[in-house]
Structure 1
Amino acid sequence: MTDLAEFKARLVQQAIAEGFVSCRICRPWDVPEVADRLAVFVEHGFHGQMGWMAERQNWRGDPAQLWPEAKSVIMLAESYTPDENPMAAVARTDHGAISVYARNKDYHDLVKKRLKRLARWLIAETSAQTEVKVFVDTAPVPEKPLAQAAGLGWQGKHTNLVSRDFGNWVFLGSVFTTLDLPVDPPEPDHCGSCRSCLTACPTDAFPAPYQMDARRCISYLTIEHKGPIDAELRPLLGNRIYGCDDCLAACPWNKFAVAASDMRYAARDDLDAPPLADLARLDDAAFRSVFSGSPIKRIGRDRFVRNVLYAIGNSENPALTQVAQALCDDDDPSVADAAKWAVDRLS
């Protein structure tokens, strides 16, 4: 290749053709602030039970250590903007509210396939000696700081990526490569004095702008946290049974959100505010069947039904008392505890 700028333009064009909404490039070492920020996060215990964040600080804090041979990081954004108001399900208290990204196929699989196709194109257009590694949220890669360094957007006060071009309903993926590609300028912060995302949080999970205490975050509590959830936080979960979209939905930059290009991100009918009573009755086999191909399957039946029972306890619907009562002797201690709590609340 003699004209790297021309090749980069073709790379971006190919990424858009694959379904990504934006493609920018940075260096693996362009995020020097991450190590200190991560150290503070772990020191305060904000990572909760996510022990891997502490164990892999060296990689997550310095992506150049993850693969020292890499010279460039191709950062990509893929839109999953919902078709309807994502907060509508929260108002239906006897139904479950599932985070927008988890209402259909697992984005890890969809995004990774696009990344691999782009990586194969990159090798075919350059040299068999070109090396690549693709990542999408399953390795110690600081995707959001790298995305900001590459100019995809900036990390908003809710710590998620925000863009003036496509809002904050996006998945991030990366292609590390040994190619030395021209880089893009980083994106400055455009949050200004806005605090919409911070005030929208039901559990007050942001001790300060740009800081998040996962131990109070509903996404963490309903997905990553094992065992019973603290009693003081249970009423604040509402009917959110997997993830939370409140801070994302509150961002004013979503007026520029781009429609999802993949219909597999559109909500399945049975996952768009499903009845809590139906979900509570799932045994392990039924849970695996219903959530086959879904990111929800990862947390297992017990943790999911635990979440459903907290939602039942918050429903203020006495008709659901018998549903909770039937699980008070469940084999899983967390489920049994949540069922008893729900019965007490509804009584």
Structure 2
Amino acid sequence: MTPPRNPVPAARLREFIEAEAKTLGFDAVAVTRPDAIAEAGPRLGAFVEAGRHGTMEWMAETLQRRAHPNALWPEARSVIMLAMNYGPDENPLALLDRRDRAAISVYARNRDYHDVIKGKLKTLAQKFSARTGEDVKVFVDTAPVMEKPLAAAAGLGWQGKHTNLVSREFGSWLFLGSIFTTAELPVDAPEIDHCGSCRACLDICPTKAFPAPYQIDARRCISYLTIEHKGPIPHEFRAAMGNRIYGCDDCLAVCPWNKFAQATREAKLAARDDLAAPALADLLRLDDTAFREKFAGSPIKRIGRDRFVRSVLIAAGNSNDPGLLPLVESLLADPSPLVRGAAVWALSRLAGRERFDRLRLASMEQDDDVKAEWVDAMEPA
């Protein structure tokens, strides 16, 4: 039985939400309406219509629910948007010059943020419901909710030219979560766009994934290619990936608003020592068991060992380190054709022609699954 709704003065209710959110470790909180993002639907529709979502079919399948939050829960009257800072303690761009090391996106260097934030959201939602008698639902990037437009509408920041949320206080480093509620809450004013004439995020992209300001083509984005894309990395993007093996922070890290950013206060989001700059050699040695053990509790575990090692092999091919050749060669016999194919490419970048040809002749006749990789590797760059 739903407890009776208790009228609470709006000012006191807002104070309660902010105090509880701060206690739980959230860094910012704001409120908007479910119908506050009318312009987001057409933008998303154009993105999907152009095929820029790549193989992320779920975006097309949930298009209407994403565009209209009320379709997800018609009874919702307010959306409480919460943000948690996950800022790194050093500039992640510096790691890109260390080609014997792997660059893992800042957000994935420790615990899965979904798990960290969802538990805190549930706690806050339960306290809010107990105080007001209103119904609540919580979401953390696990349902068709457009968190970034809702956060911008609530005033937590604005969507920059790279389409990600930017905050004047926290720069680019905010995880978002939402509490939908039947309560009628006073809303906050949306944040205005402070990008001005700056193009830093557009110009730094290694794969030119931004067709225009405020537009992204996921099919060219290294984060998509290393996380969502299940097949071989398209050849045209391999060299540009450098040592980025899981995600890419370039467009986030270069934003001038990061001068106001600060390192995260949440220990579970701070980089683990072994994931801050892991050696490519160590990652190339991971079998499925070792991969699962190393990345237990990490968002990286979701993509599986084969896709992960595929990307590590691309980084190995870009490393100019012939010391990695024995590990690369061993992966030519890996059970996964995805891994074997990436190993062929890495071999073609690291081995001399005589060594490459010897291994090619020994392997092509035995491995139809990756024969195309051997043929492509023989073509001039």
TM-score, normalised with respect to structure 1: 0.98
Q: Secondary structure at the match of 1:90?
A: helix
Q: Measure the CA separation in 1 of the matches of 2:10 and 2:195.
A: 34
The CA RMSD measured in Å over matched residues stands at 0.9
Q: Report the counterpart of residue 57 of structure 2 in structure 1.
A: 51
Q: Report the counterpart of residue 138 of structure 2 in structure 1.
A: 134
Q: Is 2:322 the counterpart of 1:318?
A: yes
Q: Report the counterpart of residue 163 of structure 2 in structure 1.
A: 159
Distance of aligned partners of 1:2 and 1:20 in 2 relative to their CA distance in 1, 3 Å threshold: closer
Q: Report the counterpart of residue 81 of structure 1 in structure 2.
A: 87
> Which amino acid in the other structure matches residue 36 of structure 2?
D
Q: Measure the CA separation in 2 of the matches of 1:279 and 1:91.
A: 18
Is the CA contact (8 Å cut-off) linking 2:8 and 2:132 kept in structure 1? no
Q: Secondary structure at the match of 1:241?
A: strand
Q: Measure the CA separation in 1 of the matches of 2:9 and 2:335.
A: 64
Q: Report the counterpart of residue 168 of structure 1 in structure 2.
A: 172
Is the CA contact (8 Å cut-off) linking 1:96 and 1:311 kept in structure 2? yes
Q: Report the counterpart of residue 125 of structure 1 in structure 2.
A: 131
Match of 1:239 among 236, 243, 264: 243
Q: Measure the CA separation in 1 of the matches of 2:336 and 2:96.
A: 27
The CA deviation string for residues 108-161 of structure 1, in whole angstroms up to 9 with x for no partner, is 10011110111011012112xx11110111111000000011111100001110
Across the two proteins, how many residue pairs are aligned to each other? 345
Q: Measure the CA separation in 2 of the matches of 1:300 and 1:119.
A: 33
Q: Percent identity at matched positions?
A: 63
Q: Measure the CA separation in 2 of the matches of 1:17 and 1:195.
A: 37
TM-score, normalised with respect to structure 2: 0.89
Q: Measure the CA separation in 1 of the matches of 2:270 and 2:262.
A: 14
Q: Secondary structure at the match of 2:177?
A: strand
Q: Is 2:284 the counterpart of 1:280?
A: yes
> Which amino acid in the other structure matches residue 31 of structure 2?
I
Shift of 1:333: 1.3
Relative contact order (alpha carbons < 8 A, sep ≥ 6): 1 or 2 greater? 1
Q: Measure the CA separation in 2 of the matches of 1:147 and 1:338.
A: 39
Q: Report the counterpart of residue 119 of structure 2 in structure 1.
A: 113
Q: Report the counterpart of residue 299 of structure 1 in structure 2.
A: 303
Is the CA contact (8 Å cut-off) linking 1:89 and 1:272 kept in structure 2? no
Distance of aligned partners of 1:181 and 1:250 in 2 relative to their CA distance in 1, 3 Å threshold: same
Q: Secondary structure at the match of 2:332?
A: coil
Shift of 1:2: 4.3
Q: Secondary structure at the match of 2:118?
A: helix
Q: Measure the CA separation in 2 of the matches of 1:102 and 1:18.
A: 21
Q: Is 2:222 the counterpart of 1:223?
A: no
Q: Is 2:104 the counterpart of 1:98?
A: yes
Shift of 1:74: 0.2
Query: Which is helix-richer, 1 or 2?
Result: 2
Say which is worse superposed, 251-260 or 227-236, in terms of deviation.
251-260
> Which amino acid in the other structure matches residue 131 of structure 1?
D
Structure label with greater radius of gyration: 2
Q: Measure the CA separation in 2 of the matches of 1:22 and 1:229.
A: 37
- Structure 2: give runs of 5+ residues left out of the alignment: 1-6, 352-381
Match of 1:19 among 25, 46, 50: 25
Is the CA contact (8 Å cut-off) linking 1:158 and 1:197 kept in structure 2? yes
The CA deviation string for residues 85-121 of structure 1, in whole angstroms up to 9 with x for no partner, is 2122211101111011111111110011110111011
Q: Is 2:25 the counterpart of 1:33?
A: no
Q: Report the counterpart of residue 78 of structure 2 in structure 1.
A: 72
Shift of 1:318: 1.0
